[in-house]
Each structure stands twice: as structure tokens, then as C-alpha cells.
């Protein structure tokens, strides 16, 4: 079975590498030639734990993984083509930009040789996979292809593990033939008893948005509850823990934060409600989650600024963590980045440290002062903000930090420290929801 993956972003590259790990001959395509040239040398364009090893293994040793910038030549002998190109949210038009998906569909249509299954793996609004079908059907007899929706649920930072050990695989299909082919390529997961759920194409597309929006709702919900906890002397971590013990609620995704970020939740929550609006459906809860989360980060930034003093001119602030979550260098929609901008706008000098994301952050905020370590970033700081819960921030030598900071104040936006422990060291502590 020959697999073609179009688009080498997170989803495409992880999917391609993992299918090669399953033993499939996998060809990844991207029109960005520089990226393809780097990938041919096993150089990943982003940091994802375990990815470099998989790339090097399957490019150099097994030779199951290869790369090209030519989709037309990639289509020779392709059995399955996965579309994994970007689907950004267009704020001005309040909808998803599907131009890359459409473009790829057209090129696939022009180059289909034998019967091919065309799979949308990019997160796309309901109706998109059928639109892909229409584009291909304008050039190719319907017996020569099928379309399938197969959304991806991997998380950045644990993407390979998520692909190899998913909670479920969703395949939105129109007939048995394409269903059997999809079940066949995911057969290696049968051993792990992964549920493989067949649905209509539209259900499959909605499952992805509903899942991400539901998880985002849990986060926005607990973040709002944390505000109340602060007012009434409750501890949100106790509240979340006790709530999570109810199996109907579940303990995951109830960790408070300065707001969810990343390339998925913010975009998918917006897209879900705007896609529903087109069908006359008001997803009011989903809309509320989006505005709650946007406001959340702004509120947290103002709270910090108010505490340090509104005039931040000449003040130095230490920011630990820039990525939207640990184990990634991705800073898209990261709360840390929004907070950094607010501080700099108010005149502060922001000394930051992040194990992986500093290069990306510097590109969007050139004024950031990137340091070699968390300790260096803390020197002369009027406040220390822990924005992302990287493991290496969990056991910092706080006494050492207290000595080098100009004021011993910590804003622990991920609640990774015990409040009393920090206070006992003579450091002012501001956690969340307690």
C-alpha cells in the first residue's frame, strides 16, 4: 500500500512518520521546497519529541519515508492520499480558509491514475470533504476514487504517542470499499484494541470540532470557577480534583491556566460556531467559550501589571515559558506571548527563558530579551511569571532566585508550586484560583 501525505505541518509530518513506522511506503509532499530539502536530510521544521528519531530511521535506514515537492509525481501508484494542509481561521471573514484544501483537491483530480482513496485529515468544517469529492468528480469518474474524513486527535508535545496509542480512530465513509481500506491501514492499532468508529463523513467532521470545543469548554469553565475561588477563599485545585472524581466529569483538562492557546483550540472553537451559523444554528456555548478564553488572558495580564505597578518603565520582568504548552516550540496563540506583549507595551523589559520556543518568540516580539537559563532571566526581576509548565520550571532553586531578583514575587500561572512552600521562603506568591 502506497501512502501519500500532502502537507508537512504537525499533522502531516507526524502522520507520515508514524505510518512509515507501521511499515507503509509513505511519501510526504509539500510545495515549500526549502522545507522538503531540509526534510530529506531528516531535519524537522519544528520540535516534537521523538520525531527526529523517526525521521532519521525511516529516511535513512528503512527508506520507507520519502519527500517531494511534486504532488503530480507523488500521485503515481498512490493508493491513499491524506490531505493535511493548513486550514487557518480568517478573522475578517469569520470562516476557515479552505483554499489550500481546494488547491490540493484540484491537483489530486488532475493526477489520479488508479483507484485512490482521498482522505481529509486536516480539520475541516462539515461539508468540506464532500466539496473535495465534487472537485475531484469534475475531472475523475466516481468509480476511480472515494473520499474519506479521518480527523486527527494528536496533541503537540505528545503527538507520536497519541498517533500510536489513540483513544479512537474516526473514519467518515460513504461505502464499504473505502472503509475496508481505511481499517486495513489502521490494522496495526487493532493489537492495542483501539476502537475504530465508522460514521458518515459529516459526523466525522463534526466529531473533531465537537471534541476540541468540549475540551476547550472544560478549560474555560474551570478558569472562570478559579476567579470565584479566589474571592471566597476556596482552592480551585481541590475543586477540580473533587469534580474530576465524578466519572461523568473526568479529571482531565480541568487544569487552570492563563487561557488555552495553540494552533487548534482557538481556531477550532471559532470555526465550529461560525460553521454552525451558516446552517442557522447558534452554538452559543461555544461562542461564550471563545470570548471567555480571550478575556481570560487579558485579565491575567492586567492582574500582573496592576500588582507590579502600572508604570513599568525601567522595570524588568522575568517570563518563564513562551510556548503555548510544554514540550513544543509552538508559540501560536500562546498566552505567554500575549502577556509578554502587554508588559512590553507598558514599558517593561521582559527577560525570558523557554527551553525550545525562544527563536520563534523572538521572531514575533523582537524586543524580548532571551536568556540562557531560567536563573539568568530572574536577575533583577520585579516579578517572575511562570507562564508554561515546562518540567524544568517545577523544581527551581527559589532561594537562589530570591537573592538575584529585585523583588521576590512569583506569578505561578500554572499552579506548579505549593503556595505555602513558596511563602515560607519569604517570596510573595500569586497562584491561580487560590
Question: By the criterion CB under 6 A, which residues form the site for ligand UGA?
Answer: 123, 152-156, 212, 215, 219, 253-255, 257, 260-262, 264-265, 268, 324-325
Distance CA 27, CA 434 (A): 51
Asked about 352 being catalytic, the answer comes back as: no
Distance CA 171, CA 1 (A): 18
Number of alpha carbons in the 13 Å side-chain half-sphere of residue 204: 29
Nearer to ligand UGA, 39 or 289 (CB): 289
**CA 141, 144, 150, 154: dihedral to nearest 10 degrees?**
-120
Nearer to ligand UGA, 12 or 147 (CB): 12
Of 26, 52, 20, residue with least CA distance to 39? 52
Least separation in angstroms between residue 250's CB and ligand UGA is: 11
The grid coordinates of residue 281 equal 444554528
Nearer to ligand UGA, 64 or 322 (CB): 322
> Is residue 208 within 8 Å of residue 123, measured between CB atoms?
yes
Count CB atoms within 10 A of the CB of residue 193. Answer: 6
In the set 28, 229, 264, 318, the catalytic residue is 264
Nearer to ligand UGA, 22 or 153 (CB): 153
Residue keyed to cell 473533587: 242
Nearer to ligand UGA, 219 or 370 (CB): 219
Phi, psi of 395 (to 5 degrees): -135, 50
The DSSP line for 148-217 is EE------TTSHHHHHHS-S-EEEE-SSHHHHHHHHHHTGGGGGGT--EEEE-HHHHHHHHHHHHHHHHH
Residues annotated catalytic, as ranges: 264
Amino acid at each position: 500500500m502506497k501512502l501519500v501525505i500532502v502537507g508537512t505541518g504537525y499533522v502531516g509530518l507526524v502522520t507520515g512518520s508514524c505510518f512509515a513506522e507501521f511499515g507503509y511506503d509513505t511519501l510526504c509532499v509539500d510545495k515549500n521546497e526549502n522545507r522538503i530539502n531540509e526534510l530529506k536530510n531528516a531535519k524537522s521544521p519544528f520540535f516534537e519529541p521523538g520525531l527526529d528519531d523517526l525521521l532519521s530511521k525511516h529516511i535513512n535506514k528503512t527508506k520507507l519515508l520519502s519527500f517531494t515537492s511534486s504532488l503530480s509525481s507523488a500521485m503515481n501508484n498512490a493508493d491513499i492520499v491524506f490531505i493535511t494542509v493548513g486550514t487557518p481561521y480568517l478573522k475578517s471573514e469569520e470562516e476557515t480558509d479552505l483554499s489550500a484544501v481546494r488547491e490540493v483537491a484540484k491537483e489530486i483530480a488532475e493526477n489520479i491514475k488508479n483507484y485512490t482513496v482521498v482522505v481529509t485529515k486536516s480539520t475541516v468544517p462539515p461539508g468540506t470533504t464532500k466539496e473535495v469529492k465534487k472537485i475531484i468528480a469534475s475531472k475523475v469518474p466516481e468509480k476511480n476514487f472515494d473520499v474519506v474524513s479521518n480527523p486527527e486527535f494528536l496533541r503537540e508535545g505528545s503527538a507520536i504517542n497519541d498517533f500510536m496509542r489513540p483513544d479512537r480512530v474516526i473514519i467518515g465513509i460513504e461505502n464499504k470499499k473505502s472503509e475496508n481500506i481505511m481499517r486495513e491501514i489502521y490494522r496495526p492499532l487493532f493489537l492495542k484494541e483501539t476502537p475504530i468508529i465508522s460514521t458518515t463523513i459529516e459526523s466525522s467532521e463534526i466529531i473533531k470540532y465537537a471534541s476540541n470545543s468540549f475540551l476547550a469548554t472544560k478549560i474555560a469553565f474551570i478558569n472562570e470557577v478559579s476567579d470565584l475561588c479566589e474571592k471566597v477563599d476556596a482552592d480551585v485545585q481541590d475543586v477540580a480534583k473533587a469534580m474530576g472524581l465524578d466519572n461523568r466529569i473526568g479529571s482531565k483538562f480541568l487544569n487552570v491556566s492563563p487561557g488555552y492557546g495553540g494552533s487548534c483550540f482557538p481556531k477550532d472553537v471559532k470555526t465550529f460556531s461560525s460553521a454552525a451559523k451558516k446552517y442557522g444554528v447558534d452554538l452559543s456555548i461555544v461562542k461564550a467559550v471563545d470570548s471567555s478564553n480571550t478575556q481570560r488572558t487579558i485579565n491575567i495580564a492586567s492582574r500582573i501589571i496592576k500588582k507590579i505597578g502600572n508604570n513599568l518603565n525601567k522595570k524588568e520582568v522575568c517570563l518563564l515559558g513562551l510556548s503555548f504548552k510544554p514540550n513544543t516550540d509552538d508559540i501560536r496563540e500562546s498566552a505567554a506571548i500575549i502577556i509578554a506583549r502587554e508588559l512590553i507595551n507598558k514599558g517593561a523589559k521582559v527577560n525570558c527563558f523557554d527551553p525550545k520556543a525562544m527563536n520563534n518568540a523572538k521572531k514575533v516580539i523582537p524586543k524580548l530579551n532571551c536568556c540562557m537559563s531560567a536563573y539568568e532571566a530572574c536577575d533583577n526581576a520585579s516579578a517572575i511569571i511562570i507562564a508554561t509548565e515546562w518540567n524544568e520550571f517545577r523544581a527551581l532553586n527559589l532561594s537562589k532566585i530570591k537573592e538575584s531578583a529585585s523583588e521576590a514575587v512569583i506569578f505561578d500561572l500554572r499552579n506548579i508550586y505549593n503556595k505555602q512552600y513558596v511563602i515560607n521562603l519569604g517570596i510573595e506568591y500569586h497562584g491561580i484560583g487560590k
